[in-house]
Chains A and B, each alone.
Chain A
Amino acid sequence: MALLQLEGVTQRFGGLVAVDRLDFAIEAGSIVAMIGPNGAGKSTVFNLITGIYAPSAGRIVFDGKTISGKRTSAIAAGGIARTFQNIRLFAFMSALDNVMTGRHPRMRAGVLDALLHTPAQRKEERAVRERAFELLRFVGLEAQAEQYATNLAYGLQRRLEIARALAGDPKLLLLDEPAAGMNAKEKLELVELIRRIRERGVTVFLIEHDMRLVKEISERITVLDHGEKIAEGAPDVVCADPKVIEAYLGAPA
């Protein structure tokens, strides 16, 4: 059974149909990409999956449970993490605190534990701190643990966002244009990082414009245009599809 399944998902904004009867599925353990021209509805699909919007029609099933209509925090706690197209870190919190915050839904301590500073609460804090350091090492940010997120270089902020997303032990990681603004070397490192993330058992679903990166890393590609799926399949097949070429370059004259 697929890890994530979209069944006839439609999203209307007034008269605009941003996503139109979208069906597609992601198998557990895969790396898949969604591409499409600007305004095709890719980020809207992410926002539907993470519960920012409840779909106007259709449903989204994750790990055997319907998640469409649930609140964002519940979906995140259920195992879907994401990064954002325009980085959204907790700017004036340290890199370490950013990652520890990502662990929130897996932590137990309540108000009373915090107020009384109970041994169980301290133990949990220590364990989460330890784990957060491990994740910072994983993305290569251990030297910047105490720095404010906002003071990190751009490429490092992207990595920190990934570390924060991984902190809650997600099953599915959504990456929204992870290579945007990166140079060639950083892109290579990103490809390697995404592979290592999959080795941890996390399924990766990315939106990306850099076709070389997408072709190199993804096992399946879904192409969206005007909110509709126009092609799907292995990278080579999809990129040779005349409909995809038309969507990107326009119809031949």
Chain B
Amino acid sequence: MARLSRLQPYLLFGVAIVLPLIASNGGFVNFLADAGAFVLLALGLNVVVGFAGLLDLGYAAFFAIGSYTFAMLASPQFDIHIPFWVMLFVASGVAAVFGILLGAPTLRLRGDYLAIVTLGFGEIVPQTFLNLSQWTGGPNGIGSLDQPSIFGYRFGFDALPYYYVILALIAISVLAANNLRASRLGRAWMAIREDELAAAHAGINTTTTKLAAFAIGASFSGLAGCVYASKLQLVSPDQFGFNVSVAVLSMLVLGGMGNIPGVILGSLVISSLDRFILPQATNILHGIGITFDLTNSRFLIYGAILVLTMLFRPEGLLPSRQRRSELHAHGDVAAAEQTLYNEAVP
């Protein structure tokens, strides 16, 4: 069994490789590619929220920055055409820099205060892209972005090659996140999440460690933004609103914050809900004579899912060991207090 669970990631990766080849439906491949971009986003946000415990409600800002970086440097907009493969590095680097710039003012903030400030940044960034219309095209955004090509093969409008690029990026991101988690830096993030003061007393520079979380988390969304923009051929400010930040956060909460398989599962569930389950359910409702478009109330449904998750499975669908114990610790704490009491009374 233990051996099987070790093979699981490779099996799932294998399934992910063949899945679009079996599916004859182009729309399904397109869905897979978009869902994959959101997996990338969720993996990045997981570094910030899940590992380091910094509640970021404006994560879509970095997605926007990654997308616009690609759009400005690989399109007819300024007639600059840097190759897509180079732009992956550039976009994730630019997003990381903004991760640090936007992270720096929030370093002293915790919990709700941090959430409010990041929420603000999440609103400011798309607004800025909207207003800098001489560079960003304003509300129209930037169109006809460059398509990647590899060994003379141009990607075109088919979703399949994008899907494989995204899949490769997911594989790299999973490895990176996993390596980080089990490293000196990963331990430092968790220590800050558990007790920031004690972490500082253990010699952890909380400033640089938190900034590293913001930068690395943002760099993942830079990658996602780059490939998403290139696939869609278009960026516009309305793609990166608060709803995107909330959707990605919901993926973490639903799947299991801090746990990489959980985060991936959560993002796939939310994406399929958005693209399949709600439209299908709406069709079914139509069939029985109810004309109610469920896709219009998707945020009502996300909200309901979050509330239900919090009530019945607060650790998420596939939680980490840590998270599970944290949220079911009441029994243990009570027991510990009892022993403490017994010890204190001679």
Given A101-B191, A115-B176 in contact, is the A150-B332 Cβ separation under 8 Å?
A: yes
Q: With contacts A91-B195, A111-B216 known, is A125 near B203, CB below 8 A? A: no
Q: Which residue of A lies closest to B215 (CB)?
A: A111
Q: Does A50 contact B (CB under 8 A)?
A: yes
Are A90 and B212 in touch, CB under 8 angstroms?
no
Known: A73-B206, A114-B186, A115-B179. A89 touches B198 (CB 8 A): yes
A76/B200 contact (C-beta < 8 A), A114-B180, A115-B179, A150-B336 known: yes
Contact mask B169-206 → A, CB, 8 Å, 1/0?
00000001001101111111011001101111111111
Pair B194/A91 contact, Cβ less than 8 Å? yes
Question: Are B184 and A114 neighbours in the complex by a CB distance under 8 Å?
Answer: yes
Cβ 8 A contact of B333, one of A50, A76, A150: A150
B195 touches A90 (CB 8 A): yes
Among the 9-residue stretches A3-11, A92-100, A230-238, the one with 4 or more Cβ atoms under 8 Å from chain B is: A92-100
Q: Is the CB of B322 within 8 A of A92?
A: yes
Does any Cβ of B come within 8 Å of A168's Cβ? Answer: yes
A41 CB to closest chain B CB, in angstroms?
19
Q: How far is it, in angstroms, between the C-alpha of A35 and the C-alpha of B204 when the chains are bound?
A: 30
List chain B residues, Cβ under 8 A from A105: 202-204
Min CB–CB distance B256 → chain A (angstroms) = 14
Contacts of A114 in B (CB 8 A): 179-180, 183-186
B79 within 8 A of A: no
Give per-residue flags for B314-326: 1 if the beta carbon is below 8 A from chain A beta carbons, else 0: 0000000010011
Task: Write the chain B residue with the least CB distance to A79.
Answer: B203
**Once the chains bind, are A101 and B201 in contact (CB under 8 Å)?**
no
Count of chain A to chain B residue pairs whose CB atoms are closer than 8 Å in the complex: 129
Are A93's CB and B191's CB within 8 A? yes
Q: A91-B195, A92-B325 are in contact. Are A181 and B183 (CB under 8 A)?
A: no
The distance from the CB of B55 to the nearest CB of chain A, in whole angstroms, is 17
A residues 110-150 in Cβ contact with B at 8 Å = 110-111, 113-117, 121, 124-125, 148, 150
Secondary structure class of chain A's binding surface, majority of residues = helix
31-58 of chain A: CB within 8 A of chain B: 50, 52
Q: What is the bound-complex CA distance between A162 and B110, given in angstroms?
A: 27
Is B184 a contact partner of A104 (Cβ separation < 8 A)? yes
Set B205, B212, B325, B333: member contacting A111, Cβ < 8 A: B212
Q: For A104, give its contact among B202, B212, B322, B343 (CB under 8 Å).
A: B202
B339 within 8 A of A: yes
Q: Which residues of A contact B7 (CB under 8 A)?
A: none
The verdict on A71 contacting chain B, using a C-beta distance below 8 Å, is yes
Number of interface residues of A (CB under 8 A): 50
* A184 to B346 alpha-carbon distance, docked (Å): 9
Tally of chain B residues near chain A (CB < 8 A)? 38
Is the CB of B344 closer than 8 A to any CB of chain A?
A: yes
A133 to B322, CA, bound (A): 21
Asked if B194 and A93 make an inter-chain contact with CB atoms under 8 angstroms apart, the answer reads yes
Interface of chain B: mostly helix, strand, loop or mixed: helix
Is A155 on the interface with B (CB-CB < 8 A)? Answer: yes
- Among B182, B191, B199, B344, max chain A CB count under 10 A is at B191
How far is B180's CA from A43's CA once the two chains are assembled, in angstroms? 36
Are A101's CB and B176's CB within 8 A?
no
* With A88-B197, A121-B183: A101-B336 Cβ-Cβ less than 8 Å: no
Chain B, 328-346, CB within 8 A of any chain A CB: 329, 332-333, 336, 339-340, 343-344, 346
Q: A90-B194, A114-B179, A115-B179 are in contact. Are A183 and B199 (CB under 8 A)?
A: no
Contact between chains at A88 and B204 (CB < 8 Å): no
Give bound CA distance, A195 to B80, whole Å.
69
Given the contacts A111-B185, A153-B339, A181-B344, A102 and B216 also touching, CB distance less than 8 Å? no
**Residue A77 at the chain B interface, CB threshold 8 Å:** yes
A82 at the interface (CB under 8 A from B): yes
Q: Is A72 an interface residue (CB 8 A)?
A: yes
- B205 close to A71 (CB less than 8 A): yes
Contact between chains at A148 and B325 (CB < 8 Å)? yes
**Known contacts A101-B187, A150-B332, A183-B346, A73 near B198 by CB under 8 Å:** no
> A92 → chain B, closest Cβ, in Å?
5
Docked Cα-Cα span, A117 to B194, in Å, equals: 25
A248 in the interface (beta carbon within 8 A): no
A residues within 8 A CB of B176? 115
Q: Please pick, from A72, A88, A97, A153, the residue contacting B195 in the complex, using a CB distance under 8 A.
A: A88
Can you show 22 pairs from A to B with CB atoms below 8 A apart?
A: A76-B200, A76-B201, A76-B202, A88-B198, A89-B195, A89-B198, A90-B198, A92-B322, A93-B187, A97-B187, A100-B187, A101-B202, A101-B204, A104-B191, A105-B202, A114-B180, A150-B329, A154-B336, A154-B340, A155-B343, A167-B202, A168-B203
| Residue positions of B touching A, CB distance < 8 A | 176, 179-180, 182-188, 190-191, 194-195, 197-206, 212, 216, 322, 325-326, 329, 332-333, 336, 339-340, 343-344, 346
